[in-house]
Structure 1
Amino acid sequence: MNFVDESKSFTHQSEINYPIDKVFPQFNNLQNFVAWNDYFSGKDNQSYSFFTPYEGVGSGMKFSSEKGGDSGDFFIRYSNPNRTLRYQLFEGDDNNPYLIDVKFKSVGNKTKMFWNIHTPKRSYLQRSLNLVAEDFFIDNIDKSMKNLYQLLGNKVDRDQKLASVKYDSIMVENQDGQLLLGVNVSTKNTKDGLFKNVMMNHGKVLNFVRSDLGKKEDEFGMPVLLTNPSNLKDKEISYFYGVPLSKRVSVSDNNFNFQTLNASKVYVIYFQGNYNNRVKNIQELLKKAKKDTLRNGQLIEEFLEEPTDIQNVKLRMSLPVYR
């Protein structure tokens, strides 16, 4: 141990067959990051608490194991979009972090990543940990890249389906029943306020399902918003925001509850643009139901892409109809 330095730096290079605009957001958003990075996703019974902002500089999270295993904090300290990220990883109660720098380079439709990892300064008796740190992190990075490749493959399949979507046309589909876990909300229906409120609850629900319930991406469906379509012009609007689960689970937080969507025939319309402008398309669905002398249920809104900007959302809106 006399020859082991108090800290150690090492580098690693990895490559993934997806363009940088698909890859970087998976690193810059910590809720995305924990879904594929093997340091986190490879452990059972791990819980997370995420702190705003949820992406970019200043975002952070706390992780812990229910069985008293690994715990710590993880932060993004620097973010230059599509170019560079710096993370800090604190393990347990250690005040000296790992520094992890990742540089991104676009090579056609591929992305190269250059990792530089600096271990914490350790006391004399702990320095032997530096002997295994490099092998541990390189193995973790290689496993993580395989996970990310698979995850992005699923996203690309979804993107290809989105590319074939016809917007602003009403279609008739059969919708399966779903069990939803989410929150009931009442908020002011102002021009920008509703979208901000939906985004807040979007993050709240996903954070709860991923962190508190420990669900991975393939264990729950795309979030949906349920509301009464006849109330969309009221000064205050009530809605339910939740995600589909395959079965009921024990939930200790009273803010969350289950709702059931019954299987039904639905009128569907796809919308792209400013979130506030979707009302015209919803009115088209209601007119279609009235013309066909059918009653309707609650409007179902589903974001087809992660919503970030009110000006450019992609929505699937469906209206259950029956006689």
Structure 2
Amino acid sequence: MREVAAGLPGDPGPDPAAIARVVAAALDEDLGPEPGRDVTSQSTIPADEQGSADLVARADGVVAGLVVVPVVLDAVADRLGLGRASVEVVVPDGTRVARGDVLARLVGPVQVLLVAERTLLNLASRASGVATHTRRWADALAGTGALVLDTRKTTPGLRALEKYAVRCGGGTNKRMGLYDVAMVKDNHVAAAGSVTAAVEAVRARFPDVAIQVEADTADQALEAIAAGATFLLLDNMPTPLLAEVVAAVRAGEATGGRIELEATGNLTLDRAREVATTGVDYLSVGGLTHSSPILDLALDLTA
């Protein structure tokens, strides 16, 4: 069997520091204060016993999060003062898998494998669930020219992993946080007094960041463009109104330049292509990260 890299090909992967923090917190929960203990495994399995295990898909889906497996294994080994386990990845993140497929093979101290089991399964199952859900949206939009975006509606502490999982499923990341892109929404407009005032305030304070503006009406969209916005979130618009606003914005691009348009709010898979045909560039779907069920994975000892 050929050995392959765990990560999504061509992707830098999730931030290693963020993954290390998540793994440390998860092990603290499971093992108690450092170095921690597994009272069952440490009682029944000799510390020097070696073995192997397969990471297996228990359902069809898209795999993601295999990049965390060696991180978890190494962290457990270091905490317990045991030898490190090795990981042979069978399929990389982003691969469609079927029930029964072996995703990776693990070899090393059996205590390490079993202590790490739940943490690595929790993280990889969560990531794979996000990737599987995202793939449904990406497939629904195939050929339309529109892309599915994620949002900041992520599980606290898991943003780097969940946004990576979105990429594994064929989706696109929007902003990573409040720091990298300004997003002017209705509450900001209310506080500033108008769309124009809000855009100008952001530009004055943080001239280096891109500005996106949420618009509920055609008038708001056109005001945002006049203020200099080049990315609009068209929020909760029925398809006919969305089409009208897109047409109005596109009509002005010949003189004003390209505007990126995102449909957001109340989007469902069954109307994804309908929304895409209005000419938007993106559909943002908070449910990719806040409502994806896990993909069932298991770790089975083989020797």
- With the length of structure 1 as denominator, give the TM-score of the two structures: 0.31
Higher helix proportion, which one? 2
Q: Give the number of the structure whose residues are more often strand, by fraction.
A: 1
With normalisation by structure 2, the TM-score equals 0.32
